[in-house]
Amino acid sequence: MRSVPGRGLGRDLREGRFEGMAYDSVGYRSAARALAVGLFMAGSLLGAKAGPNDEGDKALAAQDYARAMTLYRQAADGNDAWGQVNVGKMYENGQGVAKSPKQAAVWYAKAANQGNDWAQNSLGSLYENGTGVPKDIAKAAALYKKSAAKGNNWALYNLARFQAEGIGMKANPAESLKNFRKAAEAGNSWAQYTLGDKYATGEGVPPSYPTAVGWYKKAADQDNAWSQFKLGQLYEKGTGVVQNDATAAKYYKASAEQGNHLAQASYGLALETGKGLKRWNKAEAVRYYKLAVANPGAPAWVLQRLTALDGPQPKPAN
């Protein structure tokens, strides 16, 4: 599982300039679970005051984690909610302090009790996953609801997931769709990806590939690997867009470089055949095929193509 890039909440979070994402190469639902672990790296705080938090941000940017932790702790000890969120984040990531999900939960709870929406969402994710606290879906749902009520786009996304799948509450597809849309319109890339899927399949909305493409593009512009992969497929097939092999290869490559195994397979095939590229490159095709087959979910044809190009492959370790 890929983790959220090691970065402080700091000014970017308080001023709403950064959306952190975490996802693995298994798929949307697994990606959603991964996202729930660290969805506290975007948002806004009107009127945030300069002080230890801002100095901590500078130290964090310089990778002086010990100093950043000291400054964030200074703010947190002064009952500053964002300082408490930052301290929780440092404990969760193990930056400037020994990694401790339990301590992360303690500090998130302090900020959540002050009404901080990102702390509420972060604490909810810990309860959802049983990380640092006993797993408690009911508490996770309650925290997501509180945070979502304040317009937090990750909480809206998480709440929409729960409503869609009936997690911790009765399934409510209509409310789920409404909250996915709110989160997507607020810039959440995974909500945008989800809406793209819904319009592509006609799940709860009139099917519309052009609309799906629009949402996928919004997410892809934020480096959402699954949206990039889906766009690669649509451009390759000419579904909802004018068929364009070069554009398909571009999206496959962008997704593959982020570890998406299906995109690695598709880009490997483009490299093998030269489709959408200026020329074929068998050595690079082998490299991408090997990356793809390292994932148990890789299509069977990938190993067949890899074997044809590179000979029999060693069996994966158990």
User: DSSP letters along 236-277, please?
Assistant: HHTSSS---HHHHHHHHHHHHTTT-HHHHHHHHHHHHH-TTS
3-state class (DSSP) for residue 55: helix
Kindly report the CATH number assigned to the domain that includes residue 193: 1.25.40.10
Say yes or no: 116 and 210 in one domain.
no
| pLDDT score for 50 | 55
Say yes or no: 124 and 156 in one domain.
no
| pLDDT score for 47 | 37
For 82-127, the DSSP string reads: HHHHHHHHHHHHTSSS---HHHHHHHHHHHHTTT-HHHHHHHHHHH
Say yes or no: 99 and 158 in one domain.
no
Say yes or no: 179 and 168 in one domain.
yes
pLDDT along the chain (318 residues), means of 10: 32 39 33 40 39 94 97 97 97 97 98 98 98 98 98 98 97 98 98 98 98 98 98 98 98 98 98 96 97 95 95 76
φ/ψ bin of 223: left (φ > 0), alpha (ψ from -120 to 50), beta (otherwise) = left
Considering just the CA atoms, what is the radius of gyration of the chain in Å? 21
Say yes or no: 142 and 119 in one domain.
no
Rounded-to-integer distance, Cα 46 and Cα 214, Å? 30
What range defines the domain where residue 261 resides?
Answer: 223-318
Q: Which of 130, 154, 169 is the last residue of a domain?
A: 130
Say yes or no: 176 and 196 in one domain.
yes
Amino acid (one-letter) located at 261: H
| pLDDT score for 225 | 98
Kindly report the CATH number assigned to the domain that includes residue 58: 1.25.40
| pLDDT score for 23 | 30
| pLDDT score for 82 | 97
Token pair of 153, please? 């786009």
Say yes or no: 206 and 227 in one domain.
no
Please choose, from the candidates 200, 240, 194, 190, the residue with its C-alpha nearest in 3D space to the C-alpha of residue 42: 190
pTM score of the predicted model? 0.83
3-state class (DSSP) for residue 45: coil
Say yes or no: 88 and 33 in one domain.
yes
Say yes or no: 113 and 12 in one domain.
yes
Say yes or no: 122 and 7 in one domain.
yes
| pLDDT score for 317 | 58
Number of domains in the chain: 3
Cβ atoms within 10 Å, residue 210: 10
Rounded-to-integer distance, Cα 157 and Cα 147, Å? 11
